[in-house]
Amino acid sequence: MENLSKDIKTVLVTKEQIAAKVKELGAQITKDYEGKDVVLVGILKGAMPFLCDLMRSIDLPVTLDTMCVSSYGNSTVSSGHVKIKKDLDKDIRGKHVIVVEDIIDTGITMSHLVPLLKERGAASVELAICLNKKERREADVYVKYVGFEIPDEFIVGYGCDYAEKYRNLPDVCVLDHKVYTKA
């Protein structure tokens, strides 16, 4: 990752810290959902690393689906307009849905998505997020499973991107502002 390190200001959360937290969250979800029909819904594309690690840490027979939902585009700030680019492939009626997301900051996307999934007949809908940026919250969203509370910095890595880049960094890092101010 030497080529990418020049664009990074600092590491916020290491891959080792992430691995430990994912194991902890997986154990809690296993306990909470014993005997229930669980669907993990990963939000493309950012949640993919977290989703893959989390599902391997859950000791239950879960099913998997994905959605692509966004309020950002190529910007560093939310547009406030939520767009579903790819919907679920399977019916969630009567199932316990855990929406897996890389980060929640404004909460706008999840404040639209959670009620939509409930309207579709899910038995329950909870959120599992890797990164929580409460300082930027604009919509009230309850998150049951939280990995890490982070400051109001523009972050990349472990699925989080800037203009579709940097998702492959193994740690959660603060992106140097020179990268996104020169655009």
Catalytic residue among 37, 65, 87, 105: 105
Q: Is 102 a catalytic residue?
A: no
Distance of CA 42 to the CA centre of its chain: 8
Compute the 3-state secondary structure of the chain and give helix, strand, coil in percent, each to the nearest 5.
Answer: 30, 30, 40
- Hey, which bits of the chain come out as E strands? 8-13, 38-44, 63-70, 83-86, 96-104, 124-132, 145-149, 155-156, 172-175
User: How far, CA to CA in Å, does 149 sit from each of 8, 89, 145?
Assistant: 19, 31, 11
Q: How far apart are CA 143 and CA 137, in angstroms?
A: 12
Count of Cβ atoms closer than 10 Å to residue 94 Cβ: 9
Residue 81 structure tokens: 């307009």
Q: How far apart are CA 154 and CA 86, in angstroms?
A: 25
Residues annotated catalytic, as ranges: 105
